[in-house]
Amino acid sequence: MASNNKIETFHITTFGCQMNLADTSTLAATLTTRGYRRVPSEAEADLLIFNTCSVRERAEQRVLGRLGEISGLKRTKPHMKIAVVGCMAQRLGAELREQAPHVDYILGTDRVFELPDVVEGIEGTDSVMTAFGHENMDLITPVKETPHSGFITISRGCDNYCTYCIVPYVRGRERSHSVDYIVDGVKKMVDEGVVEITLLGQNVNSYLYEKTDFSDLLARVAHETAIERIRFMTSHPKDLSHKLVDVMADEPKLMRHLHLPMQAGSDRILRRMGRVYSIEHYLDTVAYIRKKLDYVALTTDLIVGFPSETDEEYRQTLNAVREIQFDSAFMFRYSERPGTKAASFDDDVPEKEKIDRLNRLIALQQEISLKRNQREVERVCHTIVEGESRRSNEFYRGRTEGNKTVLFETDRDCTGEVLPVRIKSADSFTLHGDIVEAG
Ligand code: SF4
């Protein structure tokens, strides 16, 4: 708690994707370096920070709901400051104060790391800052997420303008971090005990720094650092190259998981979504991946009920899902995002129909996930142990090379270790196994 009403402690709540989690870790480290102390509860904090997401309306409503709930806290602690940073701050700017007048600071996606300067009233800062182009990308220090795993953002923004997506508007044009920044960031994390790194970008496949493309970058991270395991996300089907798959096939440090958002199975809908690939191209890419990699878990994102999607086009999505057999999928019904191109389309699939299409798709994918997971039975998975299971302290929880959650029993704390676990059973969401003892 502050003495003399000074800001001494902070609390951050993160909404949205892994890139936000990575930014939260970095922001927390920046504040800590400046002398502020992170506290586990909002009630103890002098500065409440909300790192926000705009991808879905629900995410923004949750932030607004939370801001409403804490307005009473602010009345009892008038010196407390509230900061909304990230995508929603970028999208709404000062307008956010119309809905939440008690918010003190609103910092857009390129201004998040200036929060300590804003709090300290350093000259040139303002309580609302959303202009792009102020972030000196390589000055942002990557920070590990847990003692054994870390995220490094390799590129920011997106140039793809998929018609349903708000990201290019709130995160700006795509720009890549330098190779040195990424390689040095991984080395620093390895020195701190990290064994698994995830390289993050809205479209990692279009990473380009000078002449280094994403495949070259992966090879350099694998060869020039002592990191044991490398993951990346998200890939775009139009940019995922054979060269990248070949690097994955040759490099055992690269985990056998590809998240490749398909979104829809109909070419007309893909065109309307601005996805710039055909379903044939997507299927060819999957075929190449499965030919080159003896084992790979393939996951995806899918949207149903996109404006004008017919029954037949929806069936094409089901057919593609049946044919490809994804290990798992994030599945959504279309919802309009103001400010996107698709918001000008007639949102003509009735809500009831969208829900029905989504439920049928989820049921199909669950069957497929079950089958895919049961194929893992008897396999020995090299599993990074993340800690005790969230549901039961009888089990430990880990993630396989294919990014699947596996539960197993152990009588010692092996968090952070990479252990061989033989899978003995599986359901649609989780694997169960036993540690393979050496000798
Ligand atoms: S690739 Fe498309 S869906 Fe992904 S962030 Fe960019 S615009 Fe959004």
pLDDT, tens digit (0-9, with 9 covering 90-100), for 103-122: 999 999 989 999 999 999 98
CA distance 420 to 408: 11
Per-residue model confidence (pLDDT) at position 2 = 47
CATH of domain 9-129: 3.40.50.12160
Q: Where in the chain is the domain with CATH 3.40.50.12160?
A: 9-129
SS3 412: coil
Q: How many CA atoms lie within 13 A of 254 on its CB side?
A: 27
Ligand 1 centroid to Cα of residue 331, in Å, is 16
State if residue 9 touches ligand 1 by the CB under 6 angstroms criterion.
no
The bridge status of strand 380-388 relative to strand 418-426 is: antiparallel
Topology of domain 137-374 in CATH is pyruvate-formate lyase- activating enzyme (3.80.30)
State if residue 158 touches ligand 1 by the CB under 6 angstroms criterion.
yes
Ligand 1 centroid to Cα of residue 157, in Å, is 9
Tokens of 119: 């709090």
Q: Are 51 and 12 in contact (CB under 8 A)?
A: yes
Across-strand partners of 230?
A: 197, 254
State if residue 203 touches ligand 1 by the CB under 6 angstroms criterion.
yes
Q: Are 73 and 80 in contact (CB under 8 A)?
A: yes
pLDDT at 389 over 90: no
Per-residue model confidence (pLDDT) at position 134 = 65
Query: Looking at ligand 1, which residue's alpha carbon is closest to its atom 1?
Result: 160
Q: Which is more confidently placed, 437 or 358?
A: 358
For ligand 1, what atom is nearest to the CA of residue 161?
Answer: 7
For helices 242-250 and 279-292, angle between their N-to-C axes, nearest 10 degrees: 20
State if residue 240 touches ligand 1 by the CB under 6 angstroms criterion.
no
Tokens of 215: 């495949």
Q: Where in the chain is the domain with CATH 2.40.50.140?
A: 380-435
* Torsion of Cα atoms, 98 then 101 then 103 then 109, to 10°: 10
Question: Residue 52: enclosing H or E segment and its boundaries?
Answer: strand 47-52
pLDDT at 435 over 50: yes
DSSP 123: T
State if residue 202 touches ligand 1 by the CB under 6 angstroms criterion.
yes
1: pLDDT confidence band, cut at 50, 70 and 90? very low
Per-residue model confidence (pLDDT) at position 50 = 97
Q: Where in the chain is the domain with CATH 3.80.30.20?
A: 137-374
Query: Which one of 156, 162, 271 would you pick to mutate in the ligand 1 pocket, going by the greatest count of ligand atoms within 8 A of its CB?
Result: 162
Phi and psi at residue 408, in whole multiples of 5°? -155, 160
Comparing CA positions, the residue from 190, 251, 266 lying closest to residue 216 is 251
State if residue 303 touches ligand 1 by the CB under 6 angstroms criterion.
no
Query: Looking at ligand 1, which residue's alpha carbon is closest to its atom 8?
Result: 165
Cis peptide bond N-terminal to 52, omega within 30: no
Query: Which one of 159, 161, 167, 175 would you pick to mutate in the ligand 1 pocket, going by the greatest count of ligand atoms within 8 A of its CB?
Result: 167
Ligand 1 centroid to Cα of residue 202, in Å, is 6
Distance of CA 401 to the CA centre of its chain: 18
**If you average pLDDT over residues 161-181, what whole number do you get?**
93
395: pLDDT confidence band, cut at 50, 70 and 90? very high
Q: Is the pTM of this model over 0.85?
A: yes
Question: Where would I find the H helices in 34-114?
Answer: 57-69, 71-76, 87-92, 96-99
For ligand 1, what atom is nearest to the CA of residue 274?
Answer: 2
**If you average pLDDT over residues 170-181, what whole number do you get?**
92
DSSP 158: -
SS3 156: strand
**If you average pLDDT over residues 378-403, what whole number do you get?**
91
Plot region of 386 (φ>0 → left; ψ -120 to 50 → alpha; else → beta) = alpha
What DSSP letter does each residue of 160-191 carry, written as one string? ---TT--HHHHH-S-EEPPHHHHHHHHHHHHH
Q: Which overall architecture, per CATH, does domain 380-435 show?
A: Beta Barrel (2.40)
